[in-house]
Each structure stands twice: as structure tokens, then as C-alpha cells.
């Protein structure tokens, strides 16, 4: 069995990170990648994840170039029960656009999405009990690691004002759906996949996939590699990302990442820095609950160990008779 406490700490920043469908005393964040984890922030938790990025866009065929910056702000709230959360995702960009006959500035929301996520299957609930007498048995390879946690997401995109970053016939309101899977391999590796159906009921529906592999290096640092592909009749592309995150304290995380696409129509290069911050209005109650759960687990382990030692002593006593 994986050491759950070590896994929570080592993968605190992942997005896919080690995020369980219960309250934890370490922040879990979707940053710095673009994928969404299967697990929620926890009931009563409010979490803000913000970033600032610079971007360079150059189109070899059309001959234009755009350089600018943008902001990202995601707000997550765990409500009703531990497996459920509401999420607001926003992205605003401002850039300087230059073409052979045009020199202008552009600004607008590239994304405003309001949605909700629900964890429908959590394989960690049914983990095997630890073997108290064998370290090897607890750390050996298990095919059960390939059984993912599964969540579903549904939301609506909002088009605000005259937006230069979307197609002209984009609707004011359009739906977005996702299926999310999350695997944990040992105590350090996490793999998250998002299968996305976006902007259906518009002229240019989009199908997308985001796959993120994250590794926790120690109790403070983690890094990630990410693949994102999306396709529609309006625009299709493939983007690669890499980055790292640092845990400042239990409720604050800093991060940085680089993104680059694979095509030159247009070519895109982006650098991003950000922070995730968690506030829990019911922190004291939740913290005591987790603390008591840990104490109960320790008592159970000690009780099992004592029983095992007692059984072993009884067997040895029988042999001496």
C-alpha cells in the first residue's frame, strides 16, 4: 500500500496532484498545468489560483506578429460534500498586433467558464490494508495503480463583449464537458487526463485532450510535463508544457511554466508564473477531523501490531512445549 501521507506531501502541487476526495492539510492546485484534477478542494474550501503570463505569436503565412501579456484567475469552492466543487475559470489577454497593413492593440477575455465537477469513482477508498510484517509487500508493483479516479465536469462558456480571440459567430453562451481520469503510480508520480468537448451548439465545436504527468521530488518541489491537443474546423493545434511548483506553506503554492506549440501558423511561445492560495472558513473543524483520523489510524496500526506480536509469541511458546 502507498504511504498516503508521503503521497499527499510529495504531490501537493500536482494537477493533477495527490488530491483526495476529502479534506487535506496541504493545498492541492490545478496549476501550473492546464489540466483539471479529478479531486475537489474539499468541502467548505475556497481556493484562488492566479497567474500572469507573457505571450509571443507569429504567423509565417499571414505575416502578422502579436506580443502581449495576460492574466489567469480560477476560483474553486467545495460545496455540499467532499466529491463536489464549483469552479470559475477566467483568462484575459492584451497584446500589440502588427500585420503588413495593420498596427493595433487587442484586448479581451479568452476564457470565462463557470462549471461544476463531481468525483464519481475513487479507487483510493478501496485500497488494501497494509502488511504490518513486510515492507516489500507494501511497496511492490500493483496493477491496481492503473485503475484511475474518474470525475465528470460540466460548464458554460461566456462570451463577453467584442472578443478578438474567438470566431465572429461564437455564441454568448456555449457548453463545455469533460471526463477526467487520474492515476497515482507509487508515491511520486501522478498522471491526469482530460477529455474535452467544448463549444458545442456553435459553428466550431472543439474536441480536446490534455495529458499531464507530474512528479514530486521532495516535500517542497514538484515538476510536470504536459501535452495538449485540440481540433476544430476553426483552429487546431498541439501544445507542449513543462514547469515546476514550490510549496511555501500548507496553503500557499508558487509555480512557473513554459509553453510552446508545434506549428508555425501561428507559432506560440508563452511563459507563466503564478500562485495558488487556499482559504477554509471551516479550517479548525476540518483540521481537527484530519488530526483525529490520523490518531485513530495510528491506534489501529498499533493495536494490529500488538496483536500480531502476541500471536507470534504464542506460536513460539507452543513450539517450546
- In the prediction, which pLDDT does 28 show? 85
User: Can you read off the three cell numbers belonging to residue 36?
Assistant: 483539471
Span 109-137, mean pLDDT?
A: 76
Question: What is the predicted pLDDT for the residue at 138?
Answer: 52
Rg (CA), the chain: 23
246 vs 140 pLDDT, higher one: 246
> What mean pLDDT value characterizes the chain?
82
Type and span of the H or E element at 313: helix 283-320
15-37 pLDDT tens trace: 333 334 445 668 889 999 999 99
Q: Which residues lie closer than 8 Å to 157 by C-beta, 6 or more apart?
A: 111, 112, 113, 173, 174, 175, 176, 198, 199
* CB 11 within 8 Å of CB 216: yes
Q: Is the pLDDT of residue 52 over 60?
A: yes
Helix, coil or strand: residue 241: strand
Phi-psi domain of 309 (left: phi exceeds 0; alpha: psi -120 through 50; beta: other) = alpha
DSSP conformational letter for 10 = H
pLDDT in tens, 159-189: 998 889 999 999 999 999 999 999 998 878 9
pLDDT confidence of residue 281: 62
Q: 177, 214, 172, 217: which is closest to 198 by C-alpha?
A: 177
Q: Is the pLDDT of residue 321 over 60?
A: no
317: burial class by Cβ within 10 Å (0-12, 13-18, 19+)?
exposed
Which of 15-19, 32-36, 94-98, 106-110 bottoms out in mean pLDDT, i.e. has the lowest?
A: 15-19
pLDDT above 90 covers what percent of the chain? 59
Q: 196: closest CA among 212, 207, 204, 205? A: 207
Percentage of the chain beyond pLDDT 70 is: 74
Higher-pLDDT residue of 80, 72: 72
Task: With a cut of 90, say whether residue 47 has pLDDT above it.
Answer: yes
From CA 308, how far away is CA 137, in angstroms rounded? 16
pLDDT (tens digit per residue) in 212-245 = 999 999 889 999 999 999 999 999 999 999 999 9
Question: Mean pLDDT across the stretch 49-78?
Answer: 95
Q: Given this model, what pLDDT does residue 11 score?
A: 43
pLDDT value of residue 20: 40
DSSP SS3 for 58: strand
Residue 185, pLDDT score? 87
pLDDT at 6: 43
Q: Looking up cell 495538449, which residue turns up?
A: 228
d(CA 122, CA 37): 12
* pLDDT score of 309 more than 60: no
Measure the CA angle with vertex 118, ends 113 and 124; round to 5°. Answer: 135
Cα-flanking dihedrals φ and ψ of residue 299, to 5°?
-65, -40
Q: Is the pTM of this model over 0.85?
A: no
- The pLDDT, as a whole number, for residue 304 is 55
244-258, 266-280, 287-301: segment of lowest average pLDDT = 287-301
pLDDT band at 95 (very low <50, low <70, confident <90, very high): very high
Beta-bridge mates of residue 153? 117, 178
Amino acid at each position: 500500500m502507498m504511504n498516503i501521507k508521503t503521497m499527499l506531501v510529495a504531490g501537493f502541487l500536482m494537477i493533477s496532484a495527490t488530491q483526495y476526495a476529502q479534506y487535506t492539510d496541504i493545498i492541492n492546485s490545478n496549476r501550473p498545468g492546464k489540466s483539471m484534477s479529478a479531486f475537489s478542494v474539499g468541502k467548505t474550501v475556497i481556493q484562488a489560483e492566479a497567474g500572469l503570463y507573457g505571450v509571443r505569436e507569429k504567423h509565417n503565412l499571414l505575416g502578422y506578429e502579436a506580443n502581449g501579456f495576460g492574466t489567469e484567475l480560477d476560483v474553486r469552492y467545495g460545496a455540499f460534500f467532499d466529491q463536489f466543487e464549483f469552479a470559475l475559470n477566467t483568462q484575459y489577454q492584451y497584446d500589440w498586433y502588427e500585420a503588413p497593413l495593420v498596427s493595433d492593440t487587442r484586448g479581451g477575455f479568452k476564457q470565462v467558464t463557470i462549471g461544476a465537477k463531481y468525483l464519481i469513482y475513487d479507487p483510493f477508498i478501496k485500497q488494501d490494508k497494509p502488511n504490518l510484517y513486510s515492507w516489500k509487500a507494501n511497496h511492490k508493483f500493483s496493477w491496481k495503480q492503473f485503475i484511475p479516479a474518474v470525475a465528470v465536469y460540466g460548464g458554460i462558456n461566456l462570451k463577453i463583449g467584442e472578443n478578438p480571440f474567438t470566431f465572429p459567430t461564437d455564441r454568448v453562451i456555449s457548453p463545455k464537458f469533460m471526463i477526467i481520469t487520474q492515476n497515482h503510480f507509487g508515491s511520486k508520480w501522478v498522471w491526469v487526463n482530460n477529455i474535452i468537448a467544448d463549444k458545442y451548439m456553435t459553428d466550431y465545436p472543439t474536441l480536446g485532450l490534455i495529458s499531464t504527468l507530474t512528479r514530486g521530488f521532495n516535500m517542497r518541489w514538484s515538476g510536470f510535463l504536459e501535452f495538449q491537443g485540440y481540433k476544430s474546423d476553426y483552429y487546431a493545434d498541439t501544445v507542449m508544457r513543462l514547469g515546476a511548483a514550490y510549496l511555501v506553506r500548507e496553503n500557499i503554492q508558487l509555480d512557473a511554466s513554459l509553453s510552446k506549440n508545434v506549428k508555425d501558423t501561428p507559432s506560440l511561445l508563452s511563459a507563466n508564473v503564478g500562485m495558488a492560495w487556499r482559504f477554509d472558513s471551516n479550517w479548525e473543524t476540518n483540521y481537527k477531523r484530519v488530526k483525529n483520523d490520523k490518531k485513530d489510524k495510528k491506534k489501529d496500526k498499533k493495536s494490529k501490531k500488538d496483536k500480531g506480536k502476541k500471536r507470534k509469541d504464542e506460536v513460539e511458546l507452543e513450539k517450546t512445549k
